[in-house]
Amino acid sequence: MDIQQAKKRVEELRPLLKYYTQKYFDDEQVVSDYEYDMLMRELKQIEKEYPELITEDSPTQKVGASIKKGFEKVTHEVPLQSLQDVFTFEEVEEFDERMKESAKKYNRPLEYVVETKIDGLSSAIEYVNGKLVRGATRGNGTVGEDVTENIKTIKTVPKILKEPITITVRGEVFIGKEDFEKMNEDRLLEEQEQFANARNAAAGSLRQLDSKITASRPLNIFIFNVQKSPDINFETHYKSLLYLEKLGFNVNPVKILCKNMEEVKKAIEDIGNMRDNLDFGIDGAVVKVNDLELREKVGTTFKTPRWAVAYKYPPEKKETLLKDIVCQVGRTGAITPMAILEPVNVAGSKISKTTLHNEDYIKQNDIRIGDTVIIQKAGDVIPEVVGVVKSKRNGTERKFQMPTVCPVCGAEAIREEGEAVVRCIGIECPAKQYRNIIHFASKDAMNIDGLGEAIIAELIERKLISNIADIYKLTFEDIASLKKNGKKFAQNMLNAIEESKNRDLYCLINSLGIRHIGVKGAKTLTKYYKTMDKLMEAPYEELEMIDDIGEITARSITEFFKQPQTLDLIEKLKQAGVNMEVIKKKSSDNRFDGKTFVLTGSLENYTRDEATKIIENLGGKTSSSVSKKTDYVLAGEDAGSKLKKARELGVNIISEEEFAVMVK
């Protein structure tokens, strides 16, 4: 490669690596560690060959990331540096040769400690007189984020040490393998995006602005270094780790003292072999000089210490048999195909099943039941079927077809135009009941005060309810049994349930969870259909002509109301005495009749919901986008593109003060 080719390649690599780095430190990984490492390695080699191409802002010269908005900054007295990565034993031996020269030069002993490289978020924790005073993320190595309250929620972080010592330690916050897999299974059921890997999950959890969210995540920590302490000095790194254990810290359990390079290489191999049996994820083995005085003499570069390297293991791929494809129904009805595999150990985890995402993914990769498939799990990335060994097919393999009915309840399963997901639309589907009931009772729906997620979960667990209509069958004794001395709670709950029977029709429509219909859509429908029966009978052709409804939503409504489960539920709600009609407003003030408002920017005296309610109570409606049909744009502080478009279209723009006069 000549200088011109090198320059061109550097210009390709740098923005790519900066993008990947930023995503990584934003807790959103878009490529595997291995792919990132190989690109960074390529850039380093080019810069080594052509030093004139090195710039200050090159990814090879920087460490860490920006500080997340909302956190206080913390300046680390001792920088939290990253490590130099190596990928072969030859590179480890080159590191050893450099250390031998330094040990001879400074007349110091040369030993190494080999540790597992935990794949998590590096943090520094400070103690004064044995009491935890501050916890911070690495950040850019020099400045991190103050996450003290979040650090305190980690059960393995001692709040008070066993000795009243002042000390700053460094550790890696992580989530164990089983905890990570359980988290992702729960998120799959909730139809939340799965965490790509345990590192992202741990980092995202520790960097929450709400410490209650952090506390709800299964975070753990391994301490691996003494950053500084005015109270004690150590001769070796290994002795410092033993002392940290004595203080009560959860120290990295894999720490192997090695006298020479042969022992180092064996330790690296041993750690590689034990990966499957570790209950935490690793992405390498760290080789550190043991003698602390030699470390001091050898020093550091701007980015990395010269006295340590990180040996990175290559990603693992394994072949296994795809025994079956089954469908899992999420709590909002999404039907996800899952590969059932002959169990295989990959990168430290036993994999017996994994998601196949959707119908298109299976077709694009020509994945068949009975295939020998290739599973990859680089580091702690979610295991994936990345290929099929077609040469091993014997003709018994079967193509998979997505079901047309829900495998749980038998209701129709529909894939809407433009979507990759197939969904069950049965409102009484057992797989969906928990989420359906939560939505039905929520504030914007039937607003049943006190009937929150925990109470609903317990009612279902005790088999006191199994569907929405069962709410109206609950007795005083049923509810009182949920709490000790629960009589007052039970009476309040019964009152709230009874009150919910008198909600307006739009609340009931919204509470049913019809796809694409929220509060706004429900209100729109009640302008045309004053009873539930009229809405249930509405033809598709009529619905699609309504403003803010359209083809997709109209199809969703008609499909929903033709399901036997829907008809059964509506009948049960009628029998329970739930209102099925529009409640006529007492107010005759319709000054905004036929007028459309768009709200933009921050309002000082109203919330968005309050302003919307005022407009609707006066006969008007709100829209989320500006068009020629818009009558008014109510613009608050920091109004953006909607205000600009309103000016371009000549739409009437009003301030909050003008709005207050209009509604007075």
CB-based burial, 173-210: b 16+ in 10 Å, e otherwise: bbbbbebbbebbeeebbeeeeebbbbbbbbbbbbbbee
Tell me the pairing of strands 621-623 and 652-654.
Answer: unpaired
Residues 51, 55: Cα–Cα separation, whole Å: 9
Can you read off the two tokens belonging to residue 618?
């006066």
List helix spans (H) across 377-417: none
Rounded CA separation 465/480 (Å): 14
Report the b/e string of 308-326 with b at 16+ CB within 10 A.
bbbbbbebbebebbbbebe
DSSP assignment of 240-293 equals: HHHHHHHHT--B-S-EEEESSHHHHHHHHHHHHHHGGG-SS-EEEEEEEESBHH
Residue keyed to tokens 């009874």: 498
**Which H helix or E strand runs over 209?**
none
Token pair, residue 52, equals 């004139």
CA pair distance 355, 380, nearest whole angstrom? 15
Two tokens at 416?
């809407």
**Catalytic, out of 23, 117, 131, 595:** 117
Amino acid identity of 298? Answer: V
| Contact status, residue 327 vs residue 338, Cβ threshold 8 Å | yes
Q: Are strands 632-635 and 596-600 parallel, antiparallel or unpaired?
A: parallel
Q: How many residues does the chain have?
A: 664
The residue behind tokens 């598709």 is: 540
Catalytic residue flag (residue 117): yes
Which residues, in sequence order, are CB contacts of 593 under 8 Å at separation 6+? 619, 620
Q: Which of 46, 76, 52 is nearest to 64 (CA)?
A: 76
Identity at 14, one-letter amino acid code: R
Sequence-separated (6 or more) residues with CB below 8 Å from residue 203: 25, 27, 120, 121, 173
Structure-block tokens of residue 575 = 């029998």
Cα separation, 17 vs 10, whole angstroms: 10
C-alpha closest to that of 163 among 251, 249, 226, 253: 249
- List Cβ neighbours of 481 (8 Å cut-off, separation of 6 or more): 462
Distance CA 162, CA 245 (A): 10
CA distances from 525 to 231, 507, 534, 538, 553 (A): 72, 11, 10, 10, 11
| CA 591/CA 593 separation, integer angstroms | 6
CA distances from 179 to 185, 199, 302, 467, 605 (A): 10, 12, 36, 30, 45
Q: Closest Cα to residue 119, out of 303, 280, 279?
A: 280
As annotated, the active-site residues are 117
